[in-house]
Structure 1
Amino acid sequence: MVHFILVHGVCHGGWCWYKVKPLLESAGHQVTAIDLAASGINMAKIDEIHTMADYTEPLIESMDSLPPGEKVILVGHSLAGISIALAMDRFPHKISAAVFLTAHMPDCTHPPSYVVDRLMEGIPADFWLDSKLSSGLDPVKPKPTVLFGPKCLASNVYQLCPPQDLALAEMLMRPGSTFQNDLSKMKAFSEVGYGSVNRVYIVCNKDLTMKQDFQRWLIENNPVKQVMEIEGADHMVMMSKPNEVKLLLESAGHRVTAVDLVASGINMAKIDEVHTMADYTEPLIELMDSLPPGEKVTLVGHSLGGFSLALAMDRFPHKISAAVFLTALMPDWTRPPSYVLDQRGGQVEHATLKEKCESADELEEVLVKQKWMAKMGKAHVQPVLGTEVSLCSCPLQKN
């Protein structure tokens, strides 16, 4: 399970994640959709919020309240890229990855205003249509707020979203600010804080608010660990492409290690030299033993790899957040591990015989012969079908 903290852009609130949140939760993840100050159901008014730090305070409080040792994936949309950067700079040890979803992504060289100013300077005046603008956006009115108008939302922000989402935005939108004056006075984010967190950028190629060229410039200005793209996504990608967002968030920022067990893949040992499951699993055990203190992993085992997973789980339960058995053998804690393998052998054999027998009576006759031969200590049976069937649970004996 992963804890995602989702942070909205200017004029929006946690409500804009209403499609993505249940998708992630149904997959077993924990999701927190933050309302920043004067946004969503937060009771403050934008006139009372003077700095980006004040605006971001609900996110900072949420990060500060995380249990010791818990790490989250931060997701910032649009202007929230600056908000998650503030959290990254302060709590790098609590963040496993930060995802910039068509979002402002500052660097560690310039004040945060550098990237916001770059965008605002490139937006033509006719983009705003019926929006209400002030300070930094409209030099005639010095009050630092913006409120997207219905025409602007429909044409330039929500243009690929269902009409219901546009109607929702028109009802819930609140005035916001880019806080450019405040951002210009801030120091650049630090390399040891913000710069130390794994960053992922998701490009939305039909975004008319933050066009793809600008998103690519952000990535070039401050390269990230991973770049992903959602085809046909507008600025409100969490509404126009929620399933794609969910899938990319789940894959974002993860480190993947594919282990070669002994005598497998490029491991140089030969299977004749491997005598126990413990020996076979040793590369996985060594990897688990080498994990840094406090790091937890999700183990995924396929087929017989379920046994190897179980060995690691039994030895390192404190290092494993979840274990995934991908059509894999999964032992219990009341019987030897061989129990499930023996059961599988019997089921496969029975299913094969059932396919080859022309009637239930013929199947019963073959099974009776198998049981009789097993009692006689034979390793193999020649049933009436003429197909050799190996008795996996019967020990090999000499006549």
Structure 2
Amino acid sequence: MSTYVLVHGAWHSGQCWDRVVPLLAEAGHEVHAPTLTGHGDTVDLLGPDVGLGTYVDDVVRLLLGHDLTDVVLVGHSFAGMIISAVANEVPGRIGHLVYLDAMDPVDGQTAVDVAPPAQGMLDAAAASGTPWRLPPMSPAFLGVTRPEDVAWLETMLTDESARAFQEPVKLGNPALGAIPATYLRCVADRPARPPASTVRPNGLPVRVRELESGHDSMITAPRELAEVLLEVV
């Protein structure tokens, strides 16, 4: 049995993994899909001080509280920042990192450094009455178009804190470089993209896989995603 921890990206909640969790559990694995502070049922906790460090603490607390080891730590989208930082803090508890269409930062980068177009969201927020709030992206932007999927996704999308995109990640632990990693790229309905690098910024070789799905593959292609995640172990 392996242990999966599935970390949602910005604006989402742990509920976004509801179609994937049972597939991994049915294969005999332990699965955790936490909701990060300020999302889902804890939306009332969202505030200007919530940021990347908050989310890293959420996941580290889960790993330590349940004494989880040899974890397959999966991060979607923005959560690539989170899982990198978690692995930097507790590398001995991580068996494999999976970047699901996710950011893969180097030490000291912010989410805006990794994805410069995100600065446009921050600029728009700064011009609003609530400069620390970032409204969610549209389901279509996330690759979700079927009406039933859109309706479900919209029940869980909430605002994100600007601080999450502005806070630099800390990745100075040499042990981070010894953790195996897999990139899962969601490629459906996208312009041609250059081949993914087979080396992480820290020089560690990675496996690269592609999914014929939009960005939110856990919503639109849960079975295909689960099959790839099961291959990791």
Scaled by the length of structure 2, the TM-score of the pair is 0.85
Counterparts in 2 of 1:195-274, with a 5 A limit?
195-206=177-188, 213=193, 216=196, 221=201, 224-231=205-212, 233-252=213-232, 254=233
- Aligned partners of 2:126, 2:195: CA distance in 1, in Å? 26
- In structure 1, the partner of 2:23 is 23
Q: Which digits, 9 at most, give the CA deviation of each residue in 1:1-50, with x for residues without a partner?
A: 11100000111000000110111111111110010110122254321533
Tell me, yes or no, if the aligned pair for 1:86 and 1:194 is still in contact at 8 Å: no
Q: Alpha carbons of 1:66 and 1:207: their partners in 2 closer, same or farther (altered >3 Å)?
A: farther
Q: Secondary structure at the match of 2:174?
A: coil
Tell me, yes or no, if the aligned pair for 2:7 and 2:14 is still in contact at 8 Å: yes
- Aligned partners of 1:90, 1:104: CA distance in 2, in Å? 18
CA RMSD of aligned residues (A): 2.8
Counterparts in 2 of 1:327-342, with a 5 A limit?
none
Structure 1 residue 153 and structure 2 residue 134: aligned?
A: no
Structure of greater Rg: 1
- Aligned partners of 1:16, 1:182: CA distance in 2, in Å? 24
Q: Could you list the runs of 5+ residues in structure 1 that have no partner in the other structure?
A: 126-132, 255-399
Q: Secondary structure at the match of 2:99?
A: strand
- In structure 2, the partner of 1:190 is 172
Structure 1 residue 140 and structure 2 residue 127: aligned?
A: yes
How many angstroms does 1:243 deviate by? 1.1
Scaled by the length of structure 1, the TM-score of the pair is 0.52
- In structure 2, the partner of 1:119 is 115
Structure 1 residue 94 and structure 2 residue 93: aligned?
A: yes
How many angstroms does 1:239 deviate by? 1.5
- Aligned partners of 1:88, 1:165: CA distance in 2, in Å? 32
How many angstroms does 1:220 deviate by? 6.5
Letter of the aligned partner of 2:131 in structure 1? K
Structure 1 residue 5 and structure 2 residue 2: aligned?
A: no
- In structure 1, the partner of 2:147 is 163
State the number of aligned residues: 230
How many angstroms does 1:249 deviate by? 0.6
Q: Which digits, 9 at most, give the CA deviation of each residue in 1:264-298, with x for residues without a partner?
A: xxxxxxxxxxxxxxxxxxxxxxxxxxxxxxxxxxx
- In structure 1, the partner of 2:38 is 38
Tell me, yes or no, if the aligned pair for 1:13 and 1:35 is still in contact at 8 Å: yes
How many angstroms does 1:217 deviate by? 6.4
Q: Alpha carbons of 1:43 and 1:145: their partners in 2 closer, same or farther (altered >3 Å)?
A: closer
Tell me, yes or no, if the aligned pair for 1:206 and 1:212 is still in contact at 8 Å: no
Counterparts in 2 of 1:304-343, with a 5 A limit?
none
